């Protein structure tokens, strides 16, 4: 009998889209652009809204890059680990 359900080999593997982008990466960059679009009215008089959204997009791209000293994780994952760590203990990432 032929199985109609496929069992994934790696549950935690990243979903790669068509042009080599990963789904989480696109969600992070679009989320940062959305954050910039949503909060641009707070800074309307101080800076140009387009520039503010552009800086948020560049920061989103920085967050999805992998650092050279820890290529298994992305910058947004390391930032989350920094905020969740116990301040009294030393842990190398």
What is the domain partition of the chain in residue ranges? 50-81
pLDDT at 13 over 60: yes
Tell me, letter by letter, the H, E, C secondary structure of 18-61.
Answer: CCCCEHHHHHHHHHHHHHHHHHHHHHCCCCCHHHHHHHHHHHHH
Contacts of residue 70, defined as CB under 8 A and 6 or more positions apart, other chains included, come to 78, 93
Residue 58 corresponds to which tokens in the numbers above? 């560049």
The Cα angle at residue 21 between residues 56 and 23, in degrees rounded to 5 = 75
- pLDDT one-digit tens code per residue, 37-52: 888 888 777 778 888 8
pLDDT > 90 fraction of the chain, expressed in percent and rounded: 4
Q: Is residue 33 a contact partner of residue 55, using CB atoms and an 8 Å limit?
A: no
């Amino acid at each position: 009998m032929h199985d109609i359900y496929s069992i994934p080999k790696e549950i935690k593997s990243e979903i790669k889209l068509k042009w080599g982008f990963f789904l989480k990466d696109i969600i992070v960059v679009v989320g940062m652009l959305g954050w910039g679009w949503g909060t641009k009215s707070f800074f309307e008089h101080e800076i140009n809204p387009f520039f503010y959204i552009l800086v948020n997009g560049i920061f989103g791209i920085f967050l999805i890059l992998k650092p050279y000293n820890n290529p298994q994780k992305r910058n947004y994952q390391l930032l989350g680990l920094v905020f969740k760590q116990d301040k009294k203990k030393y842990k190398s990432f």
